[in-house]
Structure 1
Amino acid sequence: MPDAIIEMRSDTMTKPTPAMREAIANAEVGDDMSGEDPTVNRLEAMIAERLGKEAAVFACSGTQSNQMGVRVHCRPGDELLIEAWGHIASYEAGGPAALSGVTCRPIIGRRGLLEVSDLEGQIHNDDQHLCPTRLVCVENTANRGGGVVYSLGAMQQIGAWAHENGLKVHMDGARLFNAVVAGGYTAQEICEPVDTISVCFSKGLGCPMGSALIGSEEEIRIARRARKLFGGAMRQSGIVAAAAIYALENNVDRMQEDHDNARAFAEALSQIEGIEIEMPETNLVFFDVEQEYGTAFALSSRLRELGVNINPTGPQSLRACTHLDVTREQSLRAAELIGDCLSKGLADVAETITGGPYASR
């Protein structure tokens, strides 16, 4: 087994840096559920201000904060509109239905992104046979679309359309700051047309866990009750919030390195016979293995033996992710090993993959 593993399954695999660990060790804490943890309170104020909203609530995970957002805007029997690949509908264990009695109506967009033209005509009439349409959910960056980014203009148009039609807008911003770095806008600008935003600290920002839901004071009041209902109320969680504060202060601008490394990795892959790929916008790289060269599962299995972790997302497709624990040298080495595997041939592997375990995040 190789001495060093190149971990490219997900940016959720990051480890806290020594400086982040120091921030965690020195965190001032109290009882978060009682509103008495000063570090959590500071984080919530910080992220709300950065996104231009009134309030925020700390959560355990991105799935939890997304589901809190759904609960804020919808009631049992309502429906939300979402792009067909959206995480809330596809990778959160049926949370809208199980937790809030809400139906997800998937809409085909482009690479995980929606436009107003996709949404027009989708609002249900006021008819007792139909689910009342209450919410539009967008994902920025759009994971299964290849980590692509909403433009500011597109987001403004969706927000204006939704609000003109009496709908709310929730953004799954699991990788919001990747979108900010790539999109050329501020977090406040891209969130202005949106009512609530879920932000993950445990991905490119490099924290061990944690997320937040951000919105108006009234929306966050309701969300806190949902957090309790969903089992997410915490105690001395300033230990974790300290990592998120450190990340917001130190790890946002450096995400450009991850994007540059993803691009270098993708450009190297594009030179390999048997690989089909689209150039990434952020830190996610989706690529396909041509059938005559073998399956995605066979390639993933062989790479794991060589010390590179990249998971399949389909019979022929894989996703790689760059992050603060993957260097440029490692990115290029991973591409080199993929080329070696294809040139030497892949052993037959019987297992068929329809969705890898890290296809969701």
Structure 2
Amino acid sequence: MKIDLRSDTITRPTREMQEAMWAAEVGDDVLGDDPTVNALQDKAAKLFGMEDALFCPSGTMTNQLAIRVHTRPGSDVICDKHSHIYLYEGGGIMLNAFSSVKLLEGDRGRLSAGQVAEAVSPEHDVHSTVTRLVSLENTMNKGGGCYYDFKEIEAIREVCTRRGIPLHLDGARLFNALVETGETPLQYGKVFDSISICLSKGLGCPIGSLLLGTSEMIREARRFRKVMGGGWRQAGFLAAAGIYALDHHVSRLKEDHRRARAIGEMFAGRPEVAEIFPVDTNIVIIRLNDGLAEQQYVSRLAEAGILAVTFGKGMVRFVTHLDFTDDHLDAMRSRLKTF
């Protein structure tokens, strides 16, 4: 039995999801007449209480579209230094939006309202970039799947409103946060100007992300999606998977979190482990003792049939997901005893 914990993106559609996909009514989405894509976009927009949504191939595209729409060349984006939009999107902020970044160091990637207020560029200073966007990430990948206190998000919203700056959410794993906190999508739709949610991580779809915002913003994002080559045709087969996931795969995320906590407990007290990040959702990050190479450790795990990824110097990451069951968990526990 292979135990694959490299990411929650490696899942395959369930039989029920496949049936929904093959039963989908489709059209040409570039022409705007794929009924299943339209239904997914309408469903997501209503779920968050936002005006419109745009279905895209990836979370990188939805994030980058939001940044491109909100900013202007020469402006800056405030985000944490470990943000996905900065570290893992190919330099898209600079390449696509011709914008700079203000990199802050938050609490495991979570920014405070005070940090944001201090980082906003001074008005009318010709020596400075113009701050045109603040971007938060929830849950925070590099922070080990930690999530925001919603009151802090509301405080950041107040700062942005006061300074006339849009607030964007990279919510690739937002539903992981919501099932833990009990907050609702509607609450998030009220405080963010744009939200990116990923369907192909914890929700188990084969592909796809959604960008949510105002009708005007989505119209502009649709144009830039086309420029990026992101227009697609009978995408309803994929959109049907998204509809199924939103209906059936949200509440079960707590199972992923329970198994992630069990993995954290497995590594607690192991002689080679110096630290385990708090396990808040479905991501487990361990820091190895000094002198241990993370790549060699991951290779040793692979030899034992456990797949993980390196995550920086001395760091290893495990991510639980739809295809990781209690049987896999028991097998992992057994293998680690002799590892």
Give your verdict on TM over 0.5.
yes
Query: What is the rounded CA distance, in whole Å, between the counterparts of 2:270 and 2:337 in structure 1?
Result: 6
- The answer to whether structure 1 residue 312 and structure 2 residue 316 are counterparts is no
Task: State the alpha-carbon separation in 2 of the partners of residues 310 and 256 from structure 1.
Answer: 21
Shift of 1:336: 4.3
Question: Could you tell me how far apart the structure 2 residues matched to 1:115 and 1:134 are?
Answer: 18
Give, as a single letter, the amino acid of the residue that structure 2 aligns with 1:132.
V
Contact 1:170 1:195 in 2 (8 A): yes
**Residue in 1 that maps onto 2:2:** 5
Alignment-derived partner of residue 274 in structure 1: 272
> After superposition, where does 1:280-359 map in structure 2 within 5 Å?
280-291=279-290, 294-341=292-339
Q: 1:154 aligns with which of 145, 152, 156?
A: 152
Q: Which amino acid in the other structure matches residue 70 of structure 1?
A: I
Amino acid of the residue matched to residue 12 of structure 2?
A: K
The structural deviation recorded for 1:249 is 0.4
Matches within 5 A, 1:217-256: 217-256=215-254
Checking the alignment, whether the CA contact within 8 Å between 2:282 and 2:320 is kept in structure 1 is yes
Q: Deviations over 1:273-331 (max 9, x none)?
A: 32221331100000022136x32212210111221111111232100000010113323
TM-score (ref. length: structure 2)? 0.96
Tell me the secondary structure at the aligned position of residue 282 of structure 1.
coil
2:31 to 25, 30, 34: 34
Note if contact 1:60-1:210 (Cα within 8 Å) is conserved in structure 2. yes
* Structure 2 spans left out of the alignment, 5+ residues: none
Quick check: 2:102–2:119 contact (8 Å CA) kept in 1? no
Give the partner amino acid of 2:308: I
Structure 1 Cα separation of the partners of residues 18 and 130 of structure 2: 47
Fraction of identical pairs, as percent: 41
Answer whether contact 1:150 1:183 (CA < 8 A) is retained: no
Paired residue secondary structure (2:195): strand
* Deviation by residue 1:32-53 (Cα, 9 ceiling, x = unmatched): 0111000000000000111110
Look up the equivalent residue of 2:160 and give its one-letter code.
A
Q: What is the letter of the counterpart of residue 160 of structure 1?
A: E
> 1:161, CA displacement in angstroms?
1.1
- Residues of 2 paired with 1:253 and 1:217: CA distance? 29
For residues 51-109 of structure 1, give each alpha carbon's deviation from its aligned partner in whole angstroms, at most 9, with x where no partner exists: 11010011110000000000111111111100110011111000011011111111111
Partner of 1:189: 187
Q: Is the 8 A contact 1:51 1:187 kept in 2?
A: yes
- Look up the match of 2:131: 133
The equivalent of 1:356 in structure 2 is none
Separation (CA, whole Å) in 2 of partners of 1:328 and 1:318: 22
Contact residue 50 and residue 212 of structure 2 kept, 8 A = yes
* Cα distance in 2 between the residues matched to 1:315 and 1:111: 16
What residue is the counterpart of 1:204 in the other structure? 202
Name the CA shift for 1:332/1:280 in 2 (closer, same or farther; >3 Å). Answer: farther
Contact map agreement 1:196 1:214 (CA 8 A) in 2: yes
Structure 2 SS opposite 1:33 = helix
Which residue identity does 1:42 align to in structure 2? A
Question: Distance in 2 between the 1:139 and 1:177 partners?
Answer: 12
**Which residues of structure 1 form unaligned runs of 5+?**
342-361
**Contact 2:66 2:221 survives alignment (8 Å):** yes
Evaluate the alpha carbon distance shift between residue 241 and residue 213 of structure 1 in structure 2; reply closer, same or farther with a 3 A threshold: same
